[in-house]
Amino acid sequence: MPTATGILVDNELQRAWKEAGFAREPRVVASTVGHLYGRLPLDLVTFASAGGGRYNGTEMNGAFIGKKAMTPEQLQQLGGLGDSHEELGLRAFIESPCMVILGALVPRRVLIKYVCNKLGGAHFDTKRDYTPEGTLFRRLDYVGDKITLVDKRIVYFELLSIGQTLARADDIRMFCDKVVPEA
């Protein structure tokens, strides 16, 4: 059975897209944390997430926790948290950051691998090395035990948001209409 790491991280969806005869890569409109870049020093961010998911009747687009009280100018620079959406190609979507944790950007690819390979999605592994990815996994451990949104651990909520973003994408629906036989 395909896993999220295979379908998204290992580009199986992209290969299937091309095999189905589509010329360019699929596009998705995603909630992002991109609005933080250049507006606010990331070292002032304890936590931020892109969100864009719906769970138990609640939709959440963006969450933010600063390291300290912000000046009115910084708050104005930050702007609306849930207003940042971008149209991205599938590869850019997977590589784009969906979280900022303790000033570090966490790409969707890393979050998917973390849930699949470290929390038991595909297998369970408590080891963390000191590679850049291992450092991000430790930061995900840190917020995973402390932050919940609508009664769901933040890492699972963000994974849910990734899946829902793909399911809502016009290109992904068009792909499914082409390759999934009608029942």
Domains of the chain by residue range: 4-169
Q: 72 vs 17, which has greater pLDDT?
A: 17
- Asked whether residue 2 carries a pLDDT value surpassing 70, the answer given is no
| pLDDT number for residue 42 | 85
| pLDDT number for residue 36 | 75
User: What does R_g of the chain's alpha carbons equal in angstroms?
Assistant: 17
| pLDDT number for residue 112 | 94
Q: 181 vs 131, which has greater pLDDT?
A: 131
- Asked whether residue 72 carries a pLDDT value surpassing 70, the answer given is yes
Which pLDDT band holds residue 122 (cuts at 50, 70, 90)? low
pTM metric for this prediction: 0.86
Tokens of 15: 């290969």
- What mean pLDDT comes out for the span 100-112? 94
Which is nearest to 52 in space by CA: 173, 167, 177?
167
Which pLDDT band holds residue 43 (cuts at 50, 70, 90)? confident
The rounded distance, in Å, linking the Cα atoms of 120 and 90 is 25
CA dihedral 155, 124, 7, 108 (to 10 degrees): 30
| pLDDT number for residue 164 | 95
Percent of the chain predicted with pLDDT > 70: 90
| Phi-psi group of 74: left, alpha or beta (phi > 0 → left; psi -120 to 50 → alpha; rest → beta) | alpha
- What mean pLDDT comes out for the span 42-65? 85
Q: Kindly write down the DSSP assignment for every residue of 79-115, as one continuous string.
A: --STT-EEEEEHHHHHHSEEEEETTEEEEHHHHHHHH
- What mean pLDDT comes out for the span 144-160? 86
The rounded distance, in Å, linking the Cα atoms of 74 and 159 is 29
- Asked whether residue 4 carries a pLDDT value surpassing 80, the answer given is no
